[in-house]
Structure 1
């Protein structure tokens, strides 16, 4: 009997020893605890923490590794993604915290994490669900090359498309194949479509965002206002520098709605070669454009004006002063930090730099006001000053002479006409060359022609005069100039 007992006792020990070793080789991993409510990663930030407990600590083998696994976007671990693996035997204390990144293709609302050990093999329960997105593109981008407006014909449609790559330094999200998109029509915040383009057949303001779920992002497009056009419904024209614009800053770009073809006009005259969606100009005027949308043509117009400050002058265009009289000319202006330049007979008057000038002699004057701060635009006021003349100071002749000899001998050097036609009578004196060129035109003739030496092309040149009095009486004839 003792022999039988001993036999079964040793048999029990033989079975129990492997069972004891098997128990020691098992651990239990608790549900992972997340240090975040959602993951919004990008190239500048992609590190996140997960904490878990395990027991017994003594159950770990020296070769054990802890692995952090990420589910698919729906929370399934059928094909988990390993996002972190610890070094063999490096994690020996419970609870433990591991740091991991997410793949650049991460995008979804129901991700989960779990922890797996290798020695002994164990798997934790799944974590709570969380949203996670890797924002591969996180800057504004363009659709339809940043156009502000677009138009479709009644019964038709217009296609909005994410640019790839677009103009300038535009960072197109289409360069990142894993991204998806949401299209919106303001003011609604509910997406109306997904995909890389949107066919629009209703008026409104549209834009698209990269779909990063509940993560905030700067990955959104420009807004495009889409209109429905008919042959009687005008489209629009915008000026890049505003209207009025500062022409001294360069040309402004006129832009109309996107269509199939275009023709620009200025003052109702077609501009040759102006057949693009934009037209650059630094000239003011009435501009219009005809936009062909395929089955309809719409028109738009803009009265483009130059930016101007307001100015005024206190004298009329024509003035008369006596020899001992002074004409005080005053300019007022709203120009910012104005600069003043005064001219007499086309030559600048030195030291005349203020908004006032005292005129003491006859001549053709001009003052130019220039705004030196902001838009550097100018305005000018021309005016004429005549001097009163005593008719008795001129020789009194009865007839209009038809012969002069400007040779500085003091006899017939200038063309002297009767006093009823000279300065002070408001008589127009017009002299024409034999080729019909105007050589003198004045209402203030002072018996002083020619003031300068004539360029003789013939021995005796012939000129023709037309004298028109204030009461419209006309005298005509010829003058022969002897060399």
Structure 2
């Protein structure tokens, strides 16, 4: 029998480990310094803070990125709302400020932080509502009509006006916005009805729309409209685009009826030929009525339209005589007390003269500006003059004696040719030179001393009235 001897030969297995070290940091869950992001064109800044560790592992090229999820919290198409400059952030903790995109709209957004060198991603933040309020002012529906009517078994369509009146900032201008419709359950409460740009109403009630900004408070809401089922005596409303009363100097106003199949407008009970559309343009004060065809029933609406006019007057003529040491009262009359008054003397504002009357005691040029403060916010100006009372003469004199005795010192002509009559007065000396030419003669020539020399000077006058009639003659100046 053969014997076998076993030999144990130690075999050395040598393992080589390639010791490669990877840099790594840990970023904490972001801490939001806000509970909701209700952004607008005037405010869009929000803060988020986080920490990371270890600081020594950051590389010089590192950037931190703030990512925003979609409105459901998903980061599959995340938006980068902040990126730090390379190598700037080196210590922890960190606070960044960011802005949300103008398309932001949802209740469950989240934030997360990423680093680039080394690469790392934080957990996502708590969810928060976020909306960018592109439009945040009241808007109109139903052409600002307060009511609407539907036939039994039918419905009435409420729509957001676009653009509506000139002052209406219609939210339909912003394609990304959505809208919620509500029905009032009390003066202070309401219930959600549906979403959309329109609402078909088939039950009585008061309805309104709001731009959908979720839990963010907003001023983007509509007027209320009360809807009723048509009855034999049912009425609706007519709106005036410029209000009622309105200022006719601003142009015509547009009267609007509710949505319907057909219309016939009346003015003071008389049918207006061709006025068969939903809107009627007018600039006249009157009672307007419209018969409205709702399809299977009829209704009507009436408005007493007041086309207010600027109405005032003054109790003076353009030219008014003022006796020496006397005065007269200038008074502006208006229909209401909603006016302001500014008085001027020789184009200088008279301080503290702010009522509708002013006592005139000086010769000169006056004016008063009257401004209506409500309704038709317009103004008008009245101009008038106060002049010294001229002595009454019937004929044009041909002799004067400017010797300072107070009698016949100046050439005084009839009032029909004096100041305020737009009559041209020309005085020419014997050499043919014009010494006076005016359309505002004050009965004051000569104002300067005349050199008599050896004879009594002779002058000639030409008076031309506003209607072109002429009178000519001579003036002898005696010592």
8 Å contact kept, 2:142–2:258: no
Which of 90, 100, 103 is the equivalent residue of 1:102?
100
Aligned twin of 2:131: 133
Unaligned runs of 5+ in 2: 1-9, 309-333, 338-370, 377-479
Query: For residues 136 and 237 of structure 1, do their structure 2 counterparts lie closer, same or farther at Cα, with a shift above 3 Å needed?
Result: closer
SS at match of 2:172: helix
| Deviation, structure 1 residue 76 | 2.0
| Deviation, structure 1 residue 28 | 0.9
8 Å contact kept, 2:33–2:46: yes
TM-superposition CA deviations, 1:77-120 (whole Å, max 9, x none): 23322211112111101001112211221111111111111111
8 Å contact kept, 2:150–2:227: yes
The whole-number CA distance in structure 2 between the counterparts of 1:250 and 1:52 is: 61
TM-superposition CA deviations, 1:55-76 (whole Å, max 9, x none): 1100111111111111121112
Aligned twin of 2:119: 121
SS at match of 1:193: strand
Query: Within 5 A, what are the aligned runs for 1:377-456?
Result: none
8 Å contact kept, 1:150–1:259: no
In the alignment, structure 1 residue 214 sits paired with structure 2 residue 202: no
Number of equivalences = 309
8 Å contact kept, 2:165–2:241: no
Q: Which moved more, 1:177-186 or 1:245-254?
A: 245-254
In the alignment, structure 1 residue 151 sits paired with structure 2 residue 152: no
The whole-number CA distance in structure 2 between the counterparts of 1:52 and 1:288 is: 67
TM-superposition CA deviations, 1:283-306 (whole Å, max 9, x none): 777654321112211234567799
8 Å contact kept, 1:209–1:220: yes
In the alignment, structure 1 residue 53 sits paired with structure 2 residue 54: no
Query: For residues 175 and 236 of structure 1, do their structure 2 counterparts lie closer, same or farther at Cα, with a shift above 3 Å needed?
Result: closer
CA-based RMSD = 3.9
Query: For residues 288 and 68 of structure 1, do their structure 2 counterparts lie closer, same or farther at Cα, with a shift above 3 Å needed?
Result: closer
The whole-number CA distance in structure 1 between the counterparts of 2:285 and 2:68 is: 64
The whole-number CA distance in structure 2 between the counterparts of 1:268 and 1:335 is: 28
The whole-number CA distance in structure 2 between the counterparts of 1:200 and 1:241 is: 28
| Deviation, structure 1 residue 123 | 1.1
| Deviation, structure 1 residue 36 | 0.7
Query: For residues 177 and 276 of structure 1, do their structure 2 counterparts lie closer, same or farther at Cα, with a shift above 3 Å needed?
Result: closer
TM-score, normalised by the number of residues in structure 1: 0.55
Query: For residues 120 and 146 of structure 1, do their structure 2 counterparts lie closer, same or farther at Cα, with a shift above 3 Å needed?
Result: same
8 Å contact kept, 2:142–2:161: yes
Unaligned runs of 5+ in 1: 308-333, 338-371, 377-483
TM-superposition CA deviations, 1:145-166 (whole Å, max 9, x none): 3333222222111112223344
SS at match of 2:193: coil
8 Å contact kept, 2:157–2:259: no
TM-superposition CA deviations, 1:435-465 (whole Å, max 9, x none): xxxxxxxxxxxxxxxxxxxxxxxxxxxxxxx
The whole-number CA distance in structure 1 between the counterparts of 2:175 and 2:245 is: 45
In the alignment, structure 1 residue 91 sits paired with structure 2 residue 89: yes
| Deviation, structure 1 residue 225 | 2.4
SS at match of 1:190: strand
TM-superposition CA deviations, 1:317-344 (whole Å, max 9, x none): xxxxxxxxxxxxxxxxx9757xxxxxxx
Aligned twin of 1:466: none
Which of 158, 161, 164 is the equivalent residue of 1:163?
161
8 Å contact kept, 1:149–1:258: no
In the alignment, structure 1 residue 40 sits paired with structure 2 residue 38: yes
Aligned twin of 1:225: 226
Query: For residues 131 and 304 of structure 1, do their structure 2 counterparts lie closer, same or farther at Cα, with a shift above 3 Å needed?
Result: closer
Query: For residues 17 and 206 of structure 1, do their structure 2 counterparts lie closer, same or farther at Cα, with a shift above 3 Å needed?
Result: same
In the alignment, structure 1 residue 290 sits paired with structure 2 residue 291: yes
Query: For residues 55 and 239 of structure 1, do their structure 2 counterparts lie closer, same or farther at Cα, with a shift above 3 Å needed?
Result: closer
Aligned twin of 1:67: 65
Answer with 1 or 2: which has the greater Rg.
Answer: 1
The whole-number CA distance in structure 2 between the counterparts of 1:76 and 1:58 is: 32
TM-superposition CA deviations, 1:244-287 (whole Å, max 9, x none): 99999998876544422222335543233343445566777765
Aligned twin of 2:276: 275
SS at match of 2:143: helix
SS at match of 2:182: strand
Query: For residues 196 and 254 of structure 1, do their structure 2 counterparts lie closer, same or farther at Cα, with a shift above 3 Å needed?
Result: closer
The whole-number CA distance in structure 2 between the counterparts of 1:85 and 1:226 is: 53
Query: For residues 110 and 242 of structure 1, do their structure 2 counterparts lie closer, same or farther at Cα, with a shift above 3 Å needed?
Result: closer
Aligned twin of 1:198: 199
The whole-number CA distance in structure 2 between the counterparts of 1:274 and 1:66 is: 67
| Deviation, structure 1 residue 201 | 1.0
